[in-house]
Structure 1
Amino acid sequence: MIDSENRINELNTCIQHHVDDVSTWLKSCELRVSSNCGCGVFATRDIEPNELLFGDKPLILGPTGNKMDTIVCVMCYERIGHDVTSHLCSNRCGLVLCGESACAERHKNECELLQNWKPKNPNELSFTRLKAMLIIRSLILNVEHKKFLGLMQKNYTSWTNEIYFDKEFDNFPRDKETVAVIRDASAAINANAFMILYRSDNCGDVNVRSFYPIMSLINHNCVPNARHDIDSEFVNRIFAARPIKKGEQIFISYAQILWGTPSRRMFTAISKQFQCTCERCADPTEKSTYLSAIRCVDKSCNGMVLPLELSFKTEGKCNVCGKICDNKRLLQTQDMSAAITKNFLNQNFTISDLKHFMEGRLYKLVPECNQFVVEAKLKAIWKCDGMSFEDLSSIKGFCEDILRIMDKLGLGECSLKGYLAHRLFKIRQQLKIFPESSSSHGDHDQAVSEIDTFLNDDDQLWKTAKIILGNSSAAPTDINRE
């Protein structure tokens, strides 16, 4: 076993060899002991929002192996057409290639490894093989990168740490040394890999599975002070989302930032083997956003039920009448709300359909501030387009509602703020062409708070979207046009 001080020293050496620009890292960050997280990344100077902290290059990239995702070339991640079998590697390794000579050249080492393992049915697409590519590619890393991988936090408890892809090959290695190396790599990947959205040149956005080693060393907080954006070269750039003081630890969020506390804590417990106890999690109201609240058990009461303790087994209590809601009912209501929202959002719907769903079903279980209402509004914001004045006005209201929630949470200049600012700006421009807009109340006359001023200032919305999304490969196309 390596002690924490030596591990941090070795990690610092790996970071300085791996980071995209070592001078940017050295003037802003350092890796050191964190009181309750082993180690963490800390600011070495005062940092302003939107300042670049560092750029992290991927240690490994690979396809997701998800049947619901688009089939892509395993090297360049460009989409493959309908005839997938014609793009399977001619050397019978069983992987999908686009046909470009540069991709074929970069594919050689892993192709030779897979050929030695003798894939079963190499002329058929295997999602299991695609899913295992991060682990397989870890075996052909150079010595320096293998050392970096070996120093990463590992999760040995996940079922995916079992070697689930061995039956894909007739000659899979069974010696103890190779099996141990594969298990270690799998444990590191399980703990640290995540999906990124990459803008393909020929056909829009695709999902790619990634392992960024330096970002993996940043700890979690449910109100993070940093954001990350993937550029067109797969460099992951970490920016400050809020002011960060010298000596302050830098955090990102491992969970969706608009999930309620039970959902976020369940996600980190299952995927990362820890239960967050940050300030937001400890506050039942989540800074007065009430994202986890459900309706009071007394139908005559307009109150909201909030958890009494930071525990999956806690009871809830109404904030108006004081009635207790037992744990079983609390969990069942959240589960039912999640299920009916997922079922509704998986179908085509109009804004009118959404309003009927929320008013007729969802609001009977949860208040309008609940995370599942927010999730439904977000889906409508991205999905619905080319609508009537009434529909566009509803989408505008959804954007404003969510941006206000994010402002209450103190999420700062996070990526979602950039996307919502862009969407709100575009909706506001669309609304101006309708005659009805001239008879509506003047937005600027109503603006009193800082967030209201922001929501009604087209120039500020556009500027915010440009600054936050300017480095992201998945940004709306008009962001990087200028």
Structure 2
Amino acid sequence: MAHTIAEKIHTQLMAYLEEVSQPLWTIKPSKLGGRGLFALQPIKKGTLIFKNKPLIVAPRTDRAGDCYCTVCHQVNKACRPCELCSLAICSEECKTSKDHDTECNFITTNWKPKPDSVNDIHHPEVLARMQIYLRFLLLKKDHKLLLTFLQNNNEGKFLELEMLHRRHVVPDDQITFMKLVHSIININSFRIPNNPLDGKIPLRGLYPLSAFLNHNCVPNTRNVFYPDYTMAVYATKDIEVGEEILTCYTGLLLCTPARRCFLYKSKHFWCKCERCKDNTEMGTKLSALKCFNKECVGILLPTSPLNPEAEWCCDNCASKNTPDEVRTIQSILGSLVGSLDLDDQFRLEAAILARLANFIPYSNHIFIDLRLRLALKIGFTEGLKLNELSESRLALKENLCRGTLRTLAALGVGDAHLRGLLLYHLHAALAERARRSPDLYEEIKSEIESTIEQAYIILQGDISAPPDLELRRRYLGPGCDKPQEERFFILDA
């Protein structure tokens, strides 16, 4: 029976897959729950495992209050509600497009406004929140069949539907179907990274094969999203025959309590992977707090990371603290971080940072996250580019990149997307040093070349990749035969 189901799933998936000749994967039951993807043969690091097109792409519901076009997804303050359906559109071209015409006709035919909602100023926002469900309703019958093979979870309120139902008369069969969709996309959809230069609202999509990827806090794959929203999955490390192909549903640098809490709230399961079991998180100590005894220089770590009610113990004085005491400190930390202006990379409030340092060591994920943000922003902020940085700030960027790369290496995440991004920024700092001091070039040439080459391998094609990635690789990567002066003209530009 399981074989028959797998065959049916594979048949339905064919319309969405680009690499279908000899699949490297198979679908079968997973000990992590439901079904998963498993390697049919050894898969080397860097191998493309599969590409799949999205079943549906739509703006994220948490951005429904932003002013954007529901057709081209461009953020545009000139957007106005369509006089027929109230979906926001930015131009006559979008208004007369086939996509808008289809959605407009569906809304005006199926969702009749209630008398007291005709002049509701929140009407366009409600419809924007429901647009992803509207697009599922418009799928052809055989495409809807794919949904029956995906895991779902009915926990949590469907607030968007409640908002729609208060304002519209919605047919019962559509309500039932949208509830099914809601239970599926909550645990199976992927956030699509956006490039700020594109000016588009952040999107999410449901990818039929990627939806079978189960979670691990140290995944063996990375995702690449192309401009047409195709999602490619690459191996970040070698994968053995029969090994499950895994992704990560959280930020790689979050600490264990934060990751597990997020996964439980958003995906409705408690992760029990090897990283979550290790109270040091592969020696990174991302969860560590400073010992509550001010005279002690030790750090607190959970005695049993998988048990939220376990005590935390100091690695120096062996004192123990209750989970309630730890949660109080974590709550204070959350408030302090929330009060930081993370957009001002050189004037993060010193007093707040000092208070953070009273509670957490520099290995804690909060400091790691702050250092990551600084590493990515320094030299890439309007009005303060790389060539405008002081020597000390350029050195700071380089050190921040190296430190965060060491943390990723300790976690064992392989060629993750974040590693590629940090390698790009490390390359940028090194190349700027060489541009300023040509005599240094030969000394650091190999690292300048290797960092951009590795970054290119990881990030190429992704819609969020730095816009000058390919140009830097061409002029500053290995194999460029141009004179040193010519190589650096792109930085002067």
TM-score, length-scaled by structure 1? 0.88
Q: Which residue of 1 is the match for residue 477 of structure 2?
A: none
- Judged with a 3 Å threshold, the aligned counterparts in structure 2 of structure 1 residues 342 and 460 are, in CA distance, closer, same or farther, namely farther
For 1:256 and 1:352, the matched residues in 2 are separated by 25
TM-score, length-scaled by structure 2? 0.86
Higher deviation after alignment, 469-478 or 182-191? 182-191
Question: Offset of 1:339 from its aligned partner?
Answer: 2.3
- Of 459, 484, 490, the match for 1:469: 459
Instruction: Report matched runs for 1:244-259 at 5 Å.
Output: 244-259=239-254
Question: Offset of 1:122 from its aligned partner?
Answer: 8.1
- Of 68, 78, 87, the match for 1:83: 78
- Of 290, 294, 303, the match for 1:299: 294
For 1:325 and 1:411, the matched residues in 2 are separated by 31
Question: Offset of 1:135 from its aligned partner?
Answer: 1.3
Question: Offset of 1:29 from its aligned partner?
Answer: 1.1
Q: Which residue of 2 is the match for residue 394 of structure 1?
A: 396
User: Could you tell me which amino acid in structure 2 is paired with residue 402 of structure 1?
Assistant: T
For 1:438 and 1:303, the matched residues in 2 are separated by 45
For 1:279 and 1:320, the matched residues in 2 are separated by 24
- Of 180, 189, 210, the match for 1:184: 180
Checking the alignment, whether the CA contact within 8 Å between 1:223 and 1:253 is kept in structure 2 is yes
> Which deviations, in whole Å up to 9, do the C-alpha atoms of 1:51-90 show, x marking residues without a partner?
111111111111124358753322332332x2222xx335
Local SS of the residue matching 2:249: coil
Q: Which residue of 2 is the match for residue 112 of structure 1?
A: 105
Q: Which residue of 2 is the match for residue 95 of structure 1?
A: 88
User: Could you tell me which amino acid in structure 1 is paired with residue 255 of structure 2?
Assistant: G
- Judged with a 3 Å threshold, the aligned counterparts in structure 2 of structure 1 residues 405 and 206 are, in CA distance, closer, same or farther, namely same
For 1:180 and 1:262, the matched residues in 2 are separated by 35
For 2:19 and 2:93, the matched residues in 1 are separated by 30
Checking the alignment, whether the CA contact within 8 Å between 1:129 and 1:165 is kept in structure 2 is no
- Judged with a 3 Å threshold, the aligned counterparts in structure 2 of structure 1 residues 95 and 351 are, in CA distance, closer, same or farther, namely closer
For 1:63 and 1:121, the matched residues in 2 are separated by 24
> Which deviations, in whole Å up to 9, do the C-alpha atoms of 1:172-213 show, x marking residues without a partner?
22x3x332222111111222123212337x744541122112
- Of 308, 322, 328, the match for 2:324: 328
Q: Which residue of 2 is the match for residue 285 of structure 1?
A: 280
- Identity rate, percent: 26
Local SS of the residue matching 1:333: helix
- Of 134, 137, 140, the match for 1:136: 134
For 1:374 and 1:438, the matched residues in 2 are separated by 33
Checking the alignment, whether the CA contact within 8 Å between 1:222 and 1:281 is kept in structure 2 is yes
Local SS of the residue matching 1:227: strand
Question: Offset of 1:92 from its aligned partner?
Answer: 3.1
- Judged with a 3 Å threshold, the aligned counterparts in structure 2 of structure 1 residues 338 and 227 are, in CA distance, closer, same or farther, namely same
Question: Offset of 1:368 from its aligned partner?
Answer: 0.4
> Which deviations, in whole Å up to 9, do the C-alpha atoms of 1:122-170 show, x marking residues without a partner?
8876323212211121111011210012221111012137722324643
- Of 424, 427, 430, the match for 2:429: 427
Checking the alignment, whether the CA contact within 8 Å between 2:372 and 2:400 is kept in structure 1 is yes
Q: Which residue of 1 is the match for residue 407 of structure 2?
A: 405
Instruction: Report matched runs for 1:60-459 at 5 Å.
Output: 60-67=56-63, 71-80=67-76, 82-85=77-80, 88-100=81-93, 104-116=97-109, 117-119=111-113, 120-121=118-119, 126-160=124-158, 163-167=161-165, 169-173=167-171, 175=172, 177-199=173-195, 203-204=198-199, 206-309=201-304, 310-346=306-342, 348-351=343-346, 353=348, 357-358=352-353, 360-385=354-379, 386=384, 387-433=389-435, 457-459=447-449
- Judged with a 3 Å threshold, the aligned counterparts in structure 2 of structure 1 residues 301 and 103 are, in CA distance, closer, same or farther, namely farther
What is the Cα-based RMSD across aligned positions, in Å?
2.6
Higher deviation after alignment, 100-109 or 149-158? 100-109
- Judged with a 3 Å threshold, the aligned counterparts in structure 2 of structure 1 residues 363 and 194 are, in CA distance, closer, same or farther, namely same
For 2:2 and 2:103, the matched residues in 1 are separated by 34
- Judged with a 3 Å threshold, the aligned counterparts in structure 2 of structure 1 residues 28 and 354 are, in CA distance, closer, same or farther, namely farther
Checking the alignment, whether the CA contact within 8 Å between 1:220 and 1:252 is kept in structure 2 is yes
For 1:357 and 1:312, the matched residues in 2 are separated by 27
> Which deviations, in whole Å up to 9, do the C-alpha atoms of 1:222-262 show, x marking residues without a partner?
00000001101100000001111121110000111110000
Question: Offset of 1:20 from its aligned partner?
Answer: 2.3
Checking the alignment, whether the CA contact within 8 Å between 1:289 and 1:369 is kept in structure 2 is yes
For 1:355 and 1:468, the matched residues in 2 are separated by 36
Q: How many residues align?
A: 457
User: Could you tell me which amino acid in structure 1 is paired with residue 130 of structure 2?
Assistant: A
For 2:232 and 2:85, the matched residues in 1 are separated by 37
Question: Offset of 1:350 from its aligned partner?
Answer: 3.9
Checking the alignment, whether the CA contact within 8 Å between 1:28 and 1:43 is kept in structure 2 is yes
> Which deviations, in whole Å up to 9, do the C-alpha atoms of 1:402-438 show, x marking residues without a partner?
1000000100000000111101111122234557x98
Checking the alignment, whether the CA contact within 8 Å between 1:295 and 1:367 is kept in structure 2 is yes
Local SS of the residue matching 2:97: helix
Question: Offset of 1:277 from its aligned partner?
Answer: 0.4
Structure 2: unaligned runs, 5 residues or longer = 475-493
For 2:308 and 2:86, the matched residues in 1 are separated by 46
Question: Offset of 1:389 from its aligned partner?
Answer: 1.5
- Judged with a 3 Å threshold, the aligned counterparts in structure 2 of structure 1 residues 471 and 122 are, in CA distance, closer, same or farther, namely farther
- Judged with a 3 Å threshold, the aligned counterparts in structure 2 of structure 1 residues 90 and 105 are, in CA distance, closer, same or farther, namely farther
Higher deviation after alignment, 227-236 or 182-191? 182-191
